Amino acid sequence: MAGTWAVIPTPVPRMKKIEKLHKFAVLPNFPRNETLDHMLFPLFAVLLVTADNGVLARKAGDDGRKPIMLDSSGGFEIGGRILVNPKNPNETLSCDHGYVEYFIPWTPRKSSLVMWHSSSTQVFQNRWDGGPGYKDLFLSRDYPTYLWDGPRVGRANWACVPITYTPGYRDQSNFAGWNFGPSYMNWWPDVQFPINDTYAWQQATSARYDEFDTDENVLLHADAMAAAADSGKLGEEVIYLTNSAGGLRAQMATTRANGTNIAAIVTYESIGYVFPDNINITANTIPGFGPFVVPVEQFKKLANLTAVQFVWGDHRAEYNEFVKQSRWAAKLINEYGGNAEVLMLGEKGLKGSTHIAFADMDNEKVAGLLEEFLQKNELDGYVDEDERQR
């Protein structure tokens, strides 16, 4: 069989793990029988995976990360509507749903991470230079990981209404928007982007799709994700891990969800915030970016979460309108008994962090701060602690 074999010893598994091990292990010319199931595997369990046959596990690298071992992966659509053709009631269209791609570790933690960008899920999959992204960094930490494409974007672009896309020449303006520097190709001296890598820049500008930044789209995404959370298909302890305009959508999803499956929100440079209707604030001053104002009882759902963290990269001034909104939102959440904070990465010693810090060259350090947050708020437990200790 072609490829390089990786032999990874595992702890002696419980019997309920045996069938999983058979499902994943590649054992050429080795027969399956009851003796194998009940005698050999519990005594000497290994995973044999070829490099040519997909990634079920990998060797630990120089970065010290442990191998990624998956129990399952896949995807599903959720939410949306079914339209009936007014001219022919026998014809329907399923549309405006969201799409979820999931990866469940072999030994999963209780909390699941829903990685949510209003643009492209690619930003969670790789570092700027193509190195490991947040998806792999947290799969190697045993967190069930879900990549979310909201309605009408990415793999969920089957819309219930006509969609018009007008190309906009945005690569240059995105440079400053993504906090690579104050103006196009005027990099921050300490920026966490490979500035001499033209391929990385091309990937950064290409890995996106139209966000449809409108009030209607914010509510559409929020309702689809609220349905996803309430369904239980994302787990019973969901953490929204968001970036940019995805942060506003996650806050709104929380206020519109009916269940208690949402445990926390961590936003990286959220552009837009949610406020209660009992304060003096003007709603929707920037269409598609808020502020969104909701009834106070709905706002309290943010305070009922285990924790909320609004994260900002480096070189962000306190007078930035959205930085100010994040501090105000955190203050109000805490006034209603919540647990919200604003984290400035520069103040934690992470210099040059961009708008998409989890894709930065030092994203392992950024992940370390998230890991501290999860541990501090007791969101790092395992589904089966006894089995974890074996």
- Could you tell me if residue 62 is inside a domain? no
Under the banding of pLDDT at 50, 70 and 90, the label for residue 315 is: very high
Same domain, residue pair 35 and 82 = no
Number of domains in the chain: 2
320, pLDDT greater than 90: yes
- Could you tell me if residue 58 is inside a domain? no
28, pLDDT greater than 70: no
Under the banding of pLDDT at 50, 70 and 90, the label for residue 165 is: confident
Same domain, residue pair 329 and 371 = yes
Same domain, residue pair 39 and 111 = no
Q: Is the dihedral of CA 131, 134, 139, 140 positive or negative?
A: positive
Between CA 281 and CA 70 the distance in angstroms is 47
The total of other beta-carbon atoms located within 10 Å of residue 366's CB is 23
Q: Are 311 and 268 spatial neighbours (Cβ–Cβ below 8 Å)?
A: yes
Same domain, residue pair 47 and 128 = no
- Concatenating the DSSP letter of every residue in 240-258 gives EEEETHHHHHHHHHHHH--
CATH of the domain at 122: 3.40.50.1820
Q: Which range in 31-35, 142-146, 170-174 is most confidently predicted, on average pLDDT?
A: 142-146
Residue 97 structure tokens: 């749903």
Average pLDDT over residues 249-264: 96
* Full strand arrangement of the beta sheet holding 307-312: 70-78, 98-105, 145-149, 112-117, 238-243, 262-268, 307-312, 340-344
Report the Cα–Cα distance between both ends of the chain, in Å, rounded: 32
- Could you tell me if residue 160 is inside a domain? yes
Where are any strands of DSSP class E within 203-268? 238-243, 262-268
Q: At 385, phi and psi to the nearest 5?
A: -65, -35
Same domain, residue pair 14 and 144 = no
Same domain, residue pair 141 and 288 = yes
- Could you tell me if residue 217 is inside a domain? yes
- Could you tell me if residue 31 is inside a domain? yes
Same domain, residue pair 114 and 175 = yes
- Could you tell me if residue 98 is inside a domain? yes
pLDDT over 70, % of the chain: 82
24, pLDDT greater than 60: no
Q: Which residues pair with 186 in a beta bridge?
A: 183
- CA-only gyration radius of the chain, Å: 22
287, pLDDT greater than 80: yes
pLDDT at 354: 97
Q: What is the pTM of this model?
A: 0.85
Between CA 229 and CA 264 the distance in angstroms is 12
pLDDT at 85: 96
pLDDT at 49: 38
pLDDT at 63: 63
Between CA 316 and CA 32 the distance in angstroms is 60
Same domain, residue pair 75 and 49 = no
Average pLDDT over residues 268-284: 95
Per DSSP, 109 falls in state B
pLDDT at 388: 61
CA neighbours closer than 13 Å in the CB half-sphere of residue 110 = 17
Range of the domain at 212: 70-388
211, pLDDT greater than 90: no
Same domain, residue pair 328 and 376 = yes
- Could you tell me if residue 59 is inside a domain? no
Same domain, residue pair 30 and 130 = no
91, pLDDT greater than 70: yes
- Could you tell me if residue 330 is inside a domain? yes
4, pLDDT greater than 70: no
Same domain, residue pair 82 and 229 = yes
Same domain, residue pair 188 and 306 = yes
Q: Are 143 and 112 spatial neighbours (Cβ–Cβ below 8 Å)?
A: yes
